[in-house]
Structure 1
Amino acid sequence: MDQRAFSRFPSTSAVSSTPGVTVCHLLDKIIPDRVQVSDFCTCTNCSIQNTARETICCREVWDSSCKYSENLKAKMGDLQCVTQVQEVIDIVDRSLQLDLFHENDVFLKRQLGLSVSTRVLASDPHRHRRFAAYTMLTFFLHGSTGMKQRVELPSCLVKFVRDRWPNSSGDYTGFSDAYNNNE
């Protein structure tokens, strides 16, 4: 197995993420800076995120026809917000599933010879659950995205996860692309 592959969902597809790209993959377009939630949110559950490409509303997918937008539309159906989808609620709320997912992720990364920290930090005891939730939600919404392919989650969904599994300091990493170091 290619050790550069995303540990849970290996793929042979080519790596296309490159540093400096500011295209939002979920909407397949460049997102302008957004200062206020009212600039973009129509589901009423969003918040401003670290970057413009993360500051997107789940309702914005209705104006896009890229494959990731189509996936999200199919899951949302007639609901006002993706955070109302029952499977999304189930994924985010089940701490045991998130913990087991994290443990499995650690195991798989070790099998691939990748370095991994298993520590749960006292300063942010829910970080592993947020990461597990984001990963599981991405897989639920889009299936396997392939080797080192990451897709932004709507702001409302990120806020939903953070509200359920908060960091007491309010500091969050935010979305980051996966890059191929061999390019």
Structure 2
Amino acid sequence: MENTEVPSGSRTRSYSSLTQEERRNMMIEQLLARYPDTEHDPAFPNNPRIISTPDDSKTSQAEDTPEDRIGNTHWCHCECCIPMATQIESVCCREIHQVEGCIPECGKCITCADMFISQIATQEHVQLTSLAMHLDELPVVDANNNRRLRKTAYRLFMAWIYGYLGKGNRRVIPSCAVKVVRDVFPDPNGSYVGFLYSDDYDASEMAFH
């Protein structure tokens, strides 16, 4: 290897005679000499901005304060929603991008879609689906049975809109759809359990009731 003069320091020592640590320090000095001092330079002179997408406008109640939607329907765009007990459940079908995409052109609400009417709001179909899912005889219609049928209807809705989501992956069902399901499968005492996250209850339970 051809000997190289040390650019700084002793001129009498060749590059090959330097220790590994000396060579490393020399390389660092050379690299630093190539660039100006950046100690006070900002990491991002022009801060990057998040580009909004169509989905960003469909985040429903994210911009509202917790009390904005509870107990009222001023946030409803389809004119079919009902007041809900919590902020997260107070969402209209036209505020969820995936749901809005399934609303028929001539309709104003997801509950007007043929698929919703025939598969989710039809008692016989939901009962048959529940029977197939649970592999037992159809019990007499009572509060407990209707609770199970509501859960089945909600699962049908989720499968229709989102397909397979995976275990523990929850989505809120719009208030208008919840209203129809509760009308078809009512609780005699008007007692309903709303949206729950997967870690809010037993893993064997579902997030919608």
Category of TM-score, reference length = shorter chain = 0.5 to 0.7
Deviation at 1:174, TM superposition (A): 1.1
SS at match of 1:54: coil
Distance 1:28 1:144, change over 3 A: farther
More contact order relative to length (CA 8 Å, sep ≥ 6):
1
Are residues 1:75 and 2:92 paired? Answer: no
Contact 1:43 1:80 in 2 (8 A): yes
SS at match of 1:83: helix
Whole-Å separation in 2 of the counterparts to 1:83 and 1:166? 17
Deviation at 1:55, TM superposition (A): 0.7
CA deviations over 1:15-41 (Å, ceiling 9, x no partner):
xxxxxxxxxxx8376353314434211
Contact 2:93 2:176 in 1 (8 A): yes
**Of 136, 142, 147, the match for 2:162:** 142
- Alignment partner, residue 83 of structure 2: 48
Are residues 1:101 and 2:129 paired? Answer: yes
Deviation at 1:130, TM superposition (A): 0.9
Distance 1:28 1:149, change over 3 A: farther
SS at match of 1:55: coil
Deviation at 1:146, TM superposition (A): 1.1
CA deviations over 1:37-82 (Å, ceiling 9, x no partner):
3421121111112211001111223xxxxxxx2x212211432111
TM-score (norm 1): 0.65
Whole-Å separation in 2 of the counterparts to 1:90 and 1:102? 15
Contact 2:102 2:161 in 1 (8 A): yes
SS at match of 1:104: helix
Moved over 4 A (4+): 118-121
- Alignment partner, residue 183 of structure 2: 163
The letter for the 2-side match of 1:144 is: Y
**Which structure 1 segments of 5+ residues have no match?**
1-25, 62-68, 108-117
- Alignment partner, residue 40 of structure 2: none
**Which structure 2 segments of 5+ residues have no match?**
1-57, 204-209
Are residues 1:86 and 2:114 paired? Answer: yes
SS at match of 1:149: coil
TM-score (norm 2): 0.58
Distance 1:35 1:50, change over 3 A: closer
Whole-Å separation in 1 of the counterparts to 2:127 and 2:78? 29
The letter for the 1-side match of 2:172 is: E
The letter for the 2-side match of 1:76 is: I
Whole-Å separation in 1 of the counterparts to 2:73 and 2:195? 21
1:125-136 alignment, distance < 5 Å: 125-136=145-156
Contact 1:124 1:168 in 2 (8 A): no
Q: How many residues align?
A: 140
Percent identity reads 26
